[in-house]
Structure 1
Amino acid sequence: MAQISYIKYTDVLEARRYDAECFVVLSFLKNKYNLINSTDFSDKNYIEIIDGDRGKNYPNGDDFSSKGFCLFLNTSNVLSDGFNLENGQFITKNKDGILGGGKLKRNDIVFTTRGTIGNIGIYNEFIEYQNLRINSGMVIFRLKNINPSFFFIFLLSPYFKNQIKAYSSGSVQSQIPIQTIKKLKIPLFPQSFQLQIEQIVKSAHQKQTQSKKLYHEAEELLLAELGLLNYQVNHELTFSTTKKAIEQARRYDSEYFQPKYAEIIKKIENYAGGWDFAGEMVKWKKGVEVGTDAYTETGKDFVRVSDFTVFGLSESNRKISDEAFEGLKKNYQPKQGEILFTKDGTIGISYVLKEDIQGVLSGAFLRLTLKEKYQDFEKECLSLIFSSILCKMQVEKLSGGALIAHLKPSDFETFKIPLIKPLIQKQIALKIQESHRLRKESKDLLEEAKRKVEEEIEK
């Protein structure tokens, strides 16, 4: 049924929008929420919006490395509910020094303005890195007289997300300019309530930190078992190989024969427990591409690599209709106990599903199940191997040292996997299971904080 609404001319001028969808949502928000005690993002008594350096000194590919002085955030580092800094890119101290705006201070909040709009992260005391910068698709919210933890939770709430949707719906460009952000409303609550939210958020982030520590302990246990703890990758400029090795590999690029790859493979092949090919250990199924025309505002999740880390899934920003899901779920719905592995984009992220996904995976994923011979192999241990340097170096070898966008399943099957001794498998699995338990508790606490903020807004 058609809906007719009367909009004030001044509201149209303020919003600089003429599409009905924008004003339907804004009208809904105004009627639903108490905006008497509120301000907006343009109020410098409460918030400063800081853009990054987009000038001639902006870093390019040659400026980045896997280690360095300053972590330069990219879109994969900022999720819908916080940071994922596992695969960071760094710039040198000199490069950092010649850049202008965009350097984070403690308790700043990062907000993505392009691509997936509205992903956020809070740079609080639980973030280990001392120097961070945003890229050109982000802004910084620097707060005054608002508790950062409370504000972080507010940004997760439907109250804020619906405002974003209202101003971005009908827009051709997948971005939100600072001038639009300044129009968004911020509810103002007593400091006592904000501190209550802060305590919950800090408890949640403390559990996240403990979760990461346990996961890294599991990684160290795996690497120590293979004699690779504290292993340093050395890229050699000169080395030799044999004619036979070249003929067997059918490769003529020198990078393929770098000794650093041979060192990892040798550790696997000489492991006392033995080894096998990934293709002998697991069966795989690919995800599916539905096309952008299939995206809907609500429905079931369409999970992409950007929604995924070794700690699990974050909230998906892409949905497909319930009808589309019904047609796909028989062949493409991931099930509890499957091992997920990313073969495209950021290759080599792996995670064991703790429950069925109410949705489908993009074609960038492989869904893995153990073959009969390896039914007793601990899935958490195998998933850790897939995510570790053991497989990352094999991906790099296949690519000749270059960053590749796609890994063929047939190449994945050739990965050499160490058959870790059962006792060590169990120890690794227990650490990872406890890590994921803490991660879930953290997520539950953030949901509790979000619920309290929503209830306070709706009073």
Structure 2
Amino acid sequence: MLKGHEISEVLLSDLEFSGRLDSEYYKPSFLKYEELVKSKKNLSLKNLSNFLIGPFGSAFTVDNYVQEANYRYIRGKDVKPLKIRDNDNVYMPKEDYERLSKYSLKENDILVSVVGTIGNAALVTKKDLPAIFSCKSTVLRPNKINSVYLLTYINTKYGKDLLLRKERGAIQKGLNLGDLETLDVFLPSNSFQLVIENIFRTSIEKTAQSKQTYTQAENLLLKEIGLQDFTPSKEPVNIKSFKDSFATSGRLDAEYYQPFYEEVENIIKRNGFTLLQDICSDINYGTVPTSPYTKTDDGIPYIKGMNLKNTEIKKDKLDRLVNTEQLPDKYFTKKGDIIISQMGTVGDVGVIRNEENWLFASFTIRARLSNFKLFNPSFVGLYIQKVAKKYYLYRNIAQASVRQNTDLPTIRGLYLPNIDIEKQNVVAELIEQSFSLKKQSEHLLEVAKKAVEIAIEENEEVAIAYINNQSNSNG
């Protein structure tokens, strides 16, 4: 009768102070993790850290964001596993920062998301400061444990699951302060904690190097095109005849005739240019879903606009499809393909490297170069992302629509500067170096988490042996 069901038997005397009686709280996996952590040296989080709860949501609102990047406001969605996201920052006025100064963050604070997507824990570093955090997070300020080690532990399967076990609410999930305080934390030796911190710090360094290298690629691209020191014209008027305006472009809106668009086009074309359609064997839309997205690793990965950025295929939110056997070859990727977001965030780009024979979505456009000896796909992808997106695609974006979009004729007519292939290859190599450093950084974070898990499951000596075995691996 109970075949296929999980059963946990818990004594009333063993119930936590919370008095939780729901079966979810006593899942066998949770009880197993709890027993294993408690079999080692451990303390509850309240004995290892001070806590700071975020301000009321009404204390600072989106209406008060400012452009000046002096005082950051860290939202709940900025708190990701291990690191604070820094590609969509928002900022607050100085007077608001000073008014809310008791919520100002310090280096090595740990932010834990406690509302919405709960349980994410990220370290506050110098680059994030000065900053205030929102009510969606709680700050841990460790006082008797290494901050980086504690951060890593919370992000292991043990720390994460034992924390998520304590979530409350049906529609709006959340964690109370009391829930955080009672989290059991495994305490290894101080030397082991320091080893974990060193791995994490090395990962942070490689991330910084990755960003610097990618910026070098962007700057070299702009230099070769002639846009490195370009300053857009602020001239408010651009006088055009009917012949040179509507009769040619079919456009009457003032935005299309902003002087800086023409200035950029002239710079790009001055040493010769090539249309994308003239160097591609295929330029086509992707396919619509052939099935509901699978919840497992079965099926073919399905690249959507949200997976495209800075010539990379982002895999953290990748969907998969089945029933794809009858799809024609034109919907499957090949190394060197350039995938362009056609709707929403128009012009974001991913270049296919190891993602061959994947599918790309109907709201993306694939450009397949016919000759890599003339144009490097990574160079072309970066040019579209860094230059054409802003100065060509946004200028020619479809008007009078609910969602901005581009189309096949616009992509076909995209002009590329004629740059020597050797110089293109240098830009492409910098991009690949950047991605390699990023991959190494991500690998190190996984090594740190896995090492803590091994120390819990076995001992520190085995965990150190694992770290040494991984020391020369790039992931």
Q: TM-score, normalised by structure 2?
A: 0.77
Q: How does 1:29-428 map to 2 (within 5 A)?
A: 29-34=33-38, 36-41=40-45, 43=46, 45-52=48-55, 54-60=57-63, 63-65=65-67, 68-73=69-74, 78-80=79-81, 82-99=83-100, 102-113=103-114, 116-125=117-126, 127=127, 130-135=129-134, 137-167=136-166, 171-173=170-172, 180-233=179-232, 237-244=236-243, 245-270=245-270, 272-277=271-276, 281=280, 283-286=283-286, 294=293, 296=295, 309-310=309-310, 312=312, 316=316, 325-328=321-324, 336-356=335-355, 366=364, 368-373=366-371, 376-398=374-396, 406-410=404-408, 411-428=410-427
> Structure 2 counterpart of 1:63, which letter?
Y
Amino acid of the structure 1 residue aligned with 2:421: P
Identity percentage over the alignment? 20
CA deviation after TM superposition for structure 1 residue 141, in Å: 3.4
User: By how many angstroms is 1:199 displaced?
Assistant: 1.1
Q: Counterpart of 2:461? A: none
The farther-off stretch of 181-190 and 221-230 is: 181-190
Q: Report the 3-state secondary structure (helix = DSSP H, G, I; strand = E; otherwise coil) of the residue aligned with 1:243.
A: coil
SS of 2:51's equivalent? strand
Q: What letter corresponds to residue 34 of structure 2 in structure 1?
A: K
How far the C-alpha of 1:458 sits from its partner, in A, is 1.5
Q: Tell me if structure 2 keeps the 8 A contact 1:51–1:138.
A: yes
Is 1:20 equivalent to 2:24 in the alignment? yes
Q: For residues 228 and 451 of structure 2, what CA distance do their matches in structure 1 show? A: 44
2: CA distance between counterparts of 1:31 and 1:225? 61
The CA distance in 2 between the partners of 1:296 and 1:327, in whole Å, is 15
* Alpha-carbon contact 1:76-1:306 (below 8 Å) kept: no
Query: For each residue in 1:263-308, what CA deviation from the matched residue of structure 2 results, as whole angstroms up to 9, or x when unmatched?
Result: 32332232x14132469646344375689x7563776777776666
> Which residue identity does 1:151 align to in structure 2?
L
Q: 1:248 to 1:119 in 2, by over 3 A?
A: farther
Q: Deviations over 1:34-71 (max 9, x none)?
A: 45533344x164242442552253232x7343x53234
Q: Deviations over 1:224-253 (max 9, x none)?
A: 112211434455555544434245444443
Supply the AA of the counterpart residue of 2:86: L
Aligned partners of 2:75, 2:427: CA distance in 1, in Å? 30
User: One-letter code of the match for 2:31?
Assistant: S
Shift in Å at residue 344 of structure 1?
4.8
The one of the two structures with greater contact order (alpha-carbon pairs below 8 A, sep at least 6) is: 1
Contact between 1:211 and 1:439, CA under 8 Å: does it hold in 2? yes
Q: Does the aligned pair in 2 maintain the 1:107–1:148 contact within 8 Å?
A: yes
Q: Quick one: distance in 2 between partners of 1:403 and 1:37?
A: 61
Alignment partner, residue 440 of structure 2: 441
The separation in 2 between residues aligned to 1:402 and 1:105, in whole angstroms, is 47
Matched pairs, number: 447
Matched letter for residue 226 of structure 2: G
The structure 1 residue matched to 2:15, chosen from 11, 18, 21, is 11
RMSD over equivalenced CA pairs, Å: 4.1
Bigger shift: residues 43-52 or 439-448? 43-52
Q: What is the rounded CA distance, in whole Å, between the counterparts of 1:397 and 1:139 in structure 2? A: 43
- Residues 322-355 of structure 1: per-residue CA shift (max 9 Å, x gap): xxx4434885776654444444554444343442
Q: Distance in 1 between matches of 2:429 and 2:58?
A: 48
For the residue of structure 2 that corresponds to 1:231, the secondary structure is: coil
Alignment match, 2:462: none
Does the CA contact (< 8 Å) of 1:21 and 1:169 recur in 2? no
Measure, in 1, the Cα distance between the counterparts of 2:413 and 2:322.
34
**CA gap 1:182/1:429 in 2 versus in 1, 3 angstroms:** same
Give the distance between the partners of 2:290 and 2:179, measured in 1 at CA.
Answer: 31
How far did 1:435 drift?
Answer: 1.6
Alpha carbons of structure 1 residues 358 and 249: separation in structure 2 relative to 1, 3 Å: closer
Shift of 1:104: 2.9
Given residue 93 of structure 1, which amino acid in structure 2 is its aligned partner? K
Judge conservation of contact 1:72–1:89 (CA < 8 Å) in 2: yes
Change (3 A) 1:196 1:402: farther
Deviation, 1:218, is: 0.8
For the Cα contact (< 8 Å) 1:7–1:23, is it kept in 2?
A: no
The answer to whether the 8 A contact 1:47-1:142 is kept is yes
The residue aligned with 2:468 is none
SS in 2 for 1:397: coil
Inter-partner Cα distance in structure 1 for 2:399 and 2:181: 44
Give the SS at the match of 2:27: helix
Secondary structure, counterpart of 2:5 in structure 1: coil
Cα displacement (A) at 1:27 = 1.8
The CA deviation string for residues 156-192 of structure 1, in whole angstroms up to 9 with x for no partner, is: 3222332355455994336555554445433222221
In structure 1, stretches of 5+ residues that fail to align are: none
**Equivalent pair of 1:68/1:92 in contact (CA under 8 Å):** no
Q: Distance in 2 between matches of 1:353 and 1:218?
A: 18
1:219 offset after TM fit, Å?
A: 0.6
Secondary structure, counterpart of 1:417 in structure 2 = strand
Query: Whose radius of gyration is greater, 1 or 2?
Result: 2
Structure 1 residues 376 and 225 mapped into 2: Cα distance closer, same or farther (>3 Å)? closer
What letter matches 1:158 in structure 2? K
Paired residue secondary structure (2:43): strand
